[in-house]
Amino acid sequence: MLSIRKSTVGRAAAVLGTSLGLLLALAPGNASAHGSISDPPARQFGCYERWSGNWQAPEMATEDPMCHQAWQADPSAMWNWNGLLRDGVGGNHQAAVPDGQLCSGGMTAGGRYAALDTPGAWKTVDRPSSFTMNLRDHSSHGAVYIRVYVTRQGFDPKTQRLRWSDLELVNEVRNIPTSPTTPISVSAPGRSGHHVVYTVWQAAHADQSYYFCSDVNFTG
C-alpha cells in the first residue's frame, strides 16, 4: 500500500512539475521590455489583454476564434506580445517582411507569430476616421520614426492576407523621445467597416524594427 501511495504521489509531482515548467516557458519573461501598439491593440496584445488571466478558458474558441487559433498555433505569441521585432533591417522593411507576412513581421522569431497573418474575424475596436493611437514603449526605446498605414477601402481582413500594396501611408512621425506611452494621430477618411491599421516602429536605441496589425471598425 505504501509503495502505491508513493507511486501516486510521484506521478502527481511529475504532472505538477510538467505544468509548472509549461507555465514558466509561457511566462512573459521580458514583459517589462520592448512594446506594442496598445490602442487600438495589436492582434497579439489584444489576445493577451483579453485572455492572459484565463488562457485555458474553453469559451475562447467560440468568443474569440482568431485568438484561439493563434493560441493553438503557438501560445508564446500571446505571452511575448511585446517581442514582435526584427533586428538589422536597415530600413528595408518590404524586403524583410514579404507580402502575406506583414502581421508576423516576416515570420520573425522562428515563426512564433505566424498565426497573426491568418485572415479571419479578428476582434475590432470602433474608431472614427480620425483618432489617436498609442504605442506602449515599456523600455523607452524612443523612435527614429513611426509609420502608420491603413488598408484601402475594399480590402477584406476576413479573407485576404495583408500585402504592402493594400496599405496607404497615413502618418509618419520622426525623432520621438523615450516615453512609456506615445500618442500618434491617425486620419484615414473614406473608409468604413473592418480595416487593418499597420504600424512600423523603428526604435532609436538600435536598428530594431517592430511591426503591428491592429483591427479597427471605422464608423465614419
Asked if the structure places residue 155 within a domain, the reply is yes
User: pLDDT tens digit string along 53-98?
Assistant: 998 899 999 999 999 999 999 999 999 999 999 999 999 999 999 9
Asked if the structure places residue 20 within a domain, the reply is no
User: pLDDT tens digit string along 114-155?
Assistant: 999 999 999 999 999 999 999 988 766 889 999 999 999 999
CATH number, domain with residue 103: 2.70.50.50
How far apart are alpha carbons 74 and 52 in whole angstroms? 14
Q: Tell me the pLDDT of the chain averaged across its residues.
A: 86
Please state the pTM of the whole predicted model: 0.85
Tell me what the mean pLDDT of segment 186-208 comes to. Answer: 95
Asked if the structure places residue 21 within a domain, the reply is no
Asked if the structure places residue 105 within a domain, the reply is yes
Asked if the structure places residue 23 within a domain, the reply is no
Asked if the structure places residue 2 within a domain, the reply is no
Asked if the structure places residue 39 within a domain, the reply is yes
How many domains is the chain built from? 1
Domain of residue 206 covers 31-218
